[in-house]
Structures are given as structure tokens and as C-alpha cells.
Structure 1
Amino acid sequence: MQDQFARSENMTSAQTGPSYLTARARQESTLWLWWYRLTAPAEPKGDSTFQEVELFRRGRTGSQIILALYFLLIISIPAKFVGTNDYLLYIVAGAAAALFIATILNRLSKITIAGIIVVLTFLAFPIVNIVTTPGGLSMLVLPLFGLLVLPLLCAVSFLPPGWVFAIALVNILFTLLSLTYLPHTAELSSILAIAYAGIVTPIIFSQILVSVVAFVWVWGTTQALQRADRAEELVRLEHDLALQAEDAAHQKQLLEESVHKIVETHMRVANGDFDARVPVGEENVLWQISGPLNNLLARAQRWRHDSNELYHIKLALQQAREENELLKRRSSRLP
């Protein structure tokens, strides 16, 4: 029973892996868990591949980004009443609708499609806001160029890291083209005529800096996770090999014990002990041989018993024959 219990433990350990590799439940607040259940993909099982785990990580990170973007849209609504763009509410409503669709897709594990929608939405959000400003670009519009970092953060959260540079290139081209060809107010035109490079350079530099830092951060994190996954696989493989070696040694021990029991039974039978039998149990791995051997020994024992009975009957008959002849001789001597 102890061997069975140990073997069952080994089989369970082989299926689940070492205890130190078992994923521990994440300690999350109730609010975050509620939000993840609504917007994040389902957590993969313990035997999932690295690609599945990475997809889940991107989806959960995207879920956090989506919550921040909802908050950004909410705080953008008051700007309609203090700003100059009459189309801001329509822009916010369109962005919210697209973000809601992306949220559903993210929950359904369509991470890439959801990421594309989020990136395009918050790439268009500041661009449309800038382009539709009444009276042309003004000094009040320049801070909106800072919102162009949003699609960069969305891209590295949802999409493969290299996409961040494509988004940064689009932002830089839009910045240059809008400040060069779009209508401007007289105040902004005079400032651009004097300090065009001073206005454009910080915007372009921020795009390059954010994209490079975000790419290096996400790429490094992905590489670290891949190394950790490979190390975990190696440890699990070593663990499985050790369990297999232990099981093979156990099977060898059981085989040797079974062979010893069969040899011992043969020796007892050879010495005249026909009551000897090979123990047939769960620990006897040669039970397919031991069972027929025990049947053969049982038949041999019956044959021996029958032979002994025949021998005694033969002796009794011979004795009866001798007594009969003796009686005949005695009767022949009588007058």
C-alpha cells in the first residue's frame, strides 16, 4: 500500500510538475479582479505554452490601459465647455464606442484586433481634435500634440514591440505636416516663423524617446519571460526524468523480487514441498507467469495425491491377493 501511495504521488507530481513550479494565485484587489473578469482574457492553464501566457499578459496589460483610456475620455468631456472645438463631444463619443468594441474583443482573447482598434482610435483622437479646431491651429492646440504618445503606449501594450516605431513615424509626419501646411492663427504663425525648430523638436524628441524606451522595456521583459519559461521547462524536464528513473528503479526492484519468489518456489517444489506457491499480488509484476505456474503446481500436487492413492490401493490389492492365496492353501490342506 505504501508503494502504491508513493507511486501515485509520483504520477501526480509528474503531471503537475515540482511544487516550486506551480503557479501561485495572484494577489489582486477585488476591484481589479472585477475589472479583469469584464475586460481581460481568461487566465491560461498551468500547462499552457509561452505564446498563450504572453497573449494573456498582453491582454491583461491592455485591460489596464483600457481602464486608463476610459478615464481619459471622461476627463476630456469638460474641455468641450472651456475649449474651442465644438466637435469634441462627437470625437469623445466615437472614441468611447471604438474603445468599447476593443474591450469586448480583448475579453474574447482577440488581443491583436483589439490592440489595432485601440491604437487607431487614440491615434485619431488627438489628430482629429487638432485638425477640426475652428480657426486653425493656435497656441492652445500645441499641448494636444503631447497626446500623441498615447498610441505609442497602446501599441507596446497590445501589439508586438516593433509596431511602436511605425506609430511614432506616423506621429512625427503628422506633426511636421500639420505645423507646416494646416491653417494657423496669426499668433502661432509668428511664433513658428521665429522658433519652428524649437516647437517641433521637443515633440519629435518625445516621440522617439518614448518609442525607444517602450520598445526596450517590452522587448527586455519578453526576453526575460522567455528565458524564465525555458528555465522552467528544463527544470520540469529534469524533474520528469528523475521521476522516470525512480520509477524504472522501482520496477526493476519489483521484477527482481518476483523472479526471486519464482526461483524460491521452484526450489521448494524440487525438495518435495508441493504445497509451495508463488505469491500473486499487486507487487508481483510477473503475475502472468506466476498464475499459470501455480495452476501447474496445483495439478502436479493432485497428480501426486492420486498417484499415492493408487499406490496404496495397489498395495492393498496385493495384500488381499496374498491373503487370498494363503486362505486357498489352508483350505486345500483340510480333509
Structure 2
Amino acid sequence: MQDPTTHQTDVQQVPEPEALEPGQDRSAFQSFFRWWYALTAISETEDVPDLLEREIIRKSRLLSVIVFFLLVIFVLFIPGCLALPNRYVLVADLGMMVICVLALFLNRAHKPMVAGVLLVLSFEAALMMVVLTTQPLDEPSIQQYELFVFGELLAVSLLSARSVFFVALFNSVFICLSLLYQPQTPTLAADLHTQFWPMLLRPVGVQLLVAGVTYLWVSSASNYLSRAYRAEKIATAAQQTAEKQREIAEQDRLRLQTDIERVVHNHATAMNRRLITKIPLQEYEPVLWPLINVFNSLQNRLQHTQQVEQSLKQLNQAISQCAELISSGKYSPLQPLQTKTNLDLLLTALREHFKGAQRQDESSHPPFYR
């Protein structure tokens, strides 16, 4: 019996299958179709804002892929055409190959709608030619009626979704006329005589069923793509608006930062040089006006402080001068002295006081008593 631990170790050591091969195949597949799109389809730009242009590019790439597979099928069908008794099948096959190449040129020339119409009409005409040249019409040949659904698939894929009903109606009418008026083998004629409606309803029902299902599928897919394109456009517009708003906000922030630095620099320069300057409001953003008003108010207070300081300095100098005169005995209260400070009020009051006292003294002591 094997040890579970050993078994677990062995399992972990088993090399895993190369998971890169599918990715590599997918990458080669995508690379091939990128080359094929660049050769046969409308080149897709990075920014296609118009919904109609994006739909045209999508139809162009779809037509390119469909024509590629049609060419492969028509080439592979050549040996089968040689084995059929109806030689016109080979003509139709080779003619459709030429039409496919012409459709690729039209698709590359930014005319995918014209190329799509050409493909649908050519396929319908080629299949009608194969059916009409099958003389007489037998029971195995009426199975070709069901091939008309490929014309519907081409129409609903390359043209508008509603065009599939016109193609289905045309195919149904052609099937009815073919069964009624085309030469038939005796066996088919006998079967149609007894089972005409079942044999008619089968191909016609297939046409109508395919038309309805493909219309619902393509119309719903188109609506989904339209909503997705619109949502993408709205998201792109919102992203661009957000980016513009971020750029504007960043510019405003840088401009505001620059203005703040200017205000601070001007205020610091004025403070360092002890200058009284006012910052003009009109040169800055309105959001900075309250801050500038504060700085201007500080400048006003600084100016008032300097004036008070200068007055106090002059007053101190005047007091010192008067003190020196008094100390040296050179000062007389009756002597006029102007200091141009508030001290002049005191000196004037003292002088008037001494003058008044002197007059009283003279009036109380007449000259003859002296």
C-alpha cells in the first residue's frame, strides 16, 4: 500500500499541462485577424466619438470576417462542384469568389453597406441560378431551398435587421414559384400533387423562422451595443469633465498658492524694512481679500505704533533737555521753551503760573515799600 504522503508528493511533482499553448494559439489567431482587418476592413481609430461611425466600423470588420470564411468555403466546395451534374454550380461558386474579392475592395474603400448589398444580392442570384438550372427539378434538389437562409443571415448581419424579412419574403415567393412552374421529375410531380402544402411549408417555414429568430437576436444585440456605446460615451465625457475640473482646480490652487506667497513676501519685506505699505486688493483673488485686509489692518496699527513711538521718543528727549537745564540752573520758568511735544503744555502752564504769582507779589508790595 502506498503512503498517502508519498502519493501527495508525487502528485505535486507531476508537471502540469502546458496552459500557454491555447493562449499562444489565440494570440496567433488574433494576430492573423488583425492583419486581415488591416488589409480588408476600415481601420479602427482610438477615439471614435460618433455612434454611427463605430457601428460602420463594426459592420466593416464583421463583413471582413464573413467574406474570409465564405472564400474558404467556396474554395473547399470546388471539388464538390465538379462532381455535381449541374455545371452551373461551379460557375456560381467561382462567381461568388470574385464577388467576395470585390466586396473586400468596397469594404476597404469605406463602403461596407454597398459591399453587404452586393454580397446578399449576388448570393441570392447565384443560388437562384443553381435552382433554376437544375432541370428537371427532383426531390434531392429541392433541399437547396433551405440554403436560402444563408442569404437571410448575410442580410441580417451586414444590412439592417429589418432587411431579413424582405429577403425571407422574396425567398418564400421564389420557392413557391419554383415548385409551381419549374419542370419536375414525374416522382416529384406526383408527390407535389398529393403533398404540396407540406413540401412547401417546410422550406418557407424555415425561411420565416430563421428571419424571426435572427431579427430578434440582431436587434437585441444592436440595442445592447447602442446602450453600451452611449454609456461609454457618457463615461468618457464624465471622465474628461472630471479631468478638466481637476486641471482647473490645480491651476486655481497654484495661482492661489502664488498669490499667498506674494502676500506673505510683501508683508515680510515691509516688516523687515519697517515700511508701511498697503497691499492692493485688485491684484489678488477675492478669496484672499479677508487675509489681505488683516495684513493691511496690521500695517495701519504698525503705522500708528510708530507714530506713538516717535512721539514718546520726542517727549523723552524734551524731558531730558528740561532736566539738564534745571540741573544746570539755566532754566527759568518765565523763559519760553518750545519742545514741540506734549511737554509744552506743562511748560506753558508753569510759565503762566509763575507770571500770575509774580503779579500777585507786585500788587501786594508797592514800589515805594521796596
> What TM-score comes out, normalization by structure 1 length?
0.69
In structure 2, the partner of 1:69 is 70
Specify the code of the residue in structure 2 equivalent to 1:46. Answer: D
Following superposition, the deviation at residue 131 of structure 1 comes to 0.4
**What secondary structure sits across from 1:78 in the alignment?**
helix
Following superposition, the deviation at residue 138 of structure 1 comes to 1.2
Whether 2:179 is the aligned partner of 1:186: answer: no
Following superposition, the deviation at residue 272 of structure 1 comes to 6.4
Ranges in structure 2 where 5+ consecutive residues have no aligned partner: 1-25, 276-283, 286-370
Following superposition, the deviation at residue 206 of structure 1 comes to 0.9
Contact (CA 8 Å) 2:49, 2:233: kept in 1 or not?
no
Stretches of 4+ moved more than 6 A in 1? Answer: none
Give the distance between the partners of 2:40 and 2:241, measured in 1 at CA. 40
In structure 2, the partner of 1:121 is 122
Contact (CA 8 Å) 2:81, 2:89: kept in 1 or not?
yes
Give the distance between the partners of 2:151 and 2:30, measured in 1 at CA. 28
Following superposition, the deviation at residue 239 of structure 1 comes to 2.0
Specify the code of the residue in structure 1 equivalent to 2:229. Answer: D
Contact (CA 8 Å) 2:104, 2:115: kept in 1 or not?
yes
Specify the code of the residue in structure 1 equivalent to 2:188. Answer: L
Following superposition, the deviation at residue 270 of structure 1 comes to 4.2
Give the distance between the partners of 1:178 and 1:44, measured in 2 at CA. 48
CA deviations on 1:66-116 (whole Å, 9 max, x unpaired) are 122223322433344432313222222222222221121122221001001
Contact (CA 8 Å) 1:268, 1:274: kept in 2 or not?
no
Following superposition, the deviation at residue 43 of structure 1 comes to 1.9
Whether 2:225 is the aligned partner of 1:225: answer: yes
Whether 2:201 is the aligned partner of 1:214: answer: no
Following superposition, the deviation at residue 260 of structure 1 comes to 2.5
Q: For the structure 1 residues 255 and 30, does the alpha-carbon distance in structure 2 shift closer, same or farther, using more than 3 Å as the test?
A: closer
Q: For the structure 1 residues 259 and 38, does the alpha-carbon distance in structure 2 shift closer, same or farther, using more than 3 Å as the test?
A: closer
In structure 1, the partner of 2:312 is none
Give the distance between the partners of 2:95 and 2:51, measured in 1 at CA. 36
In structure 1, the partner of 2:200 is 200
In structure 1, the partner of 2:171 is 171
CA RMSD of aligned residues (A): 2.7
**What secondary structure sits across from 1:223 in the alignment?**
helix
CA deviations on 1:260-297 (whole Å, 9 max, x unpaired) are 2333344345446299xxxxxxxxx99xxxxxxxxxxx
Following superposition, the deviation at residue 247 of structure 1 comes to 2.6
Deviates more, 1:177-186 or 1:112-121: 177-186
> What TM-score comes out, normalization by structure 2 length?
0.62
In structure 1, the partner of 2:45 is 44
Q: For the structure 1 residues 207 and 49, does the alpha-carbon distance in structure 2 shift closer, same or farther, using more than 3 Å as the test?
A: same
Following superposition, the deviation at residue 189 of structure 1 comes to 0.5
Specify the code of the residue in structure 2 equivalent to 1:194. Answer: T
In structure 2, the partner of 1:60 is 61
In structure 1, the partner of 2:255 is 255
Q: For the structure 1 residues 191 and 43, does the alpha-carbon distance in structure 2 shift closer, same or farther, using more than 3 Å as the test?
A: same
In structure 2, the partner of 1:97 is 98
Give the distance between the partners of 1:129 and 1:253, measured in 2 at CA. 76
Specify the code of the residue in structure 1 equivalent to 2:78. Answer: I
Q: For the structure 1 residues 78 and 260, does the alpha-carbon distance in structure 2 shift closer, same or farther, using more than 3 Å as the test?
A: closer
Contact (CA 8 Å) 2:40, 2:107: kept in 1 or not?
yes
Q: For the structure 1 residues 200 and 44, does the alpha-carbon distance in structure 2 shift closer, same or farther, using more than 3 Å as the test?
A: farther
CA deviations on 1:42-75 (whole Å, 9 max, x unpaired) are 1232344222221121112112211222233224
In structure 2, the partner of 1:143 is 143
Q: Give the structure with higher Rg (CA).
A: 2
The number of residue pairs the alignment matches comes to 254
Specify the code of the residue in structure 2 equivalent to 1:166. Answer: F
Q: For the structure 1 residues 180 and 119, does the alpha-carbon distance in structure 2 shift closer, same or farther, using more than 3 Å as the test?
A: same
**What secondary structure sits across from 2:273 in the alignment?**
coil
Contact (CA 8 Å) 2:88, 2:129: kept in 1 or not?
no
Give the distance between the partners of 1:239 and 1:74, measured in 2 at CA. 49
Contact (CA 8 Å) 2:41, 2:108: kept in 1 or not?
yes
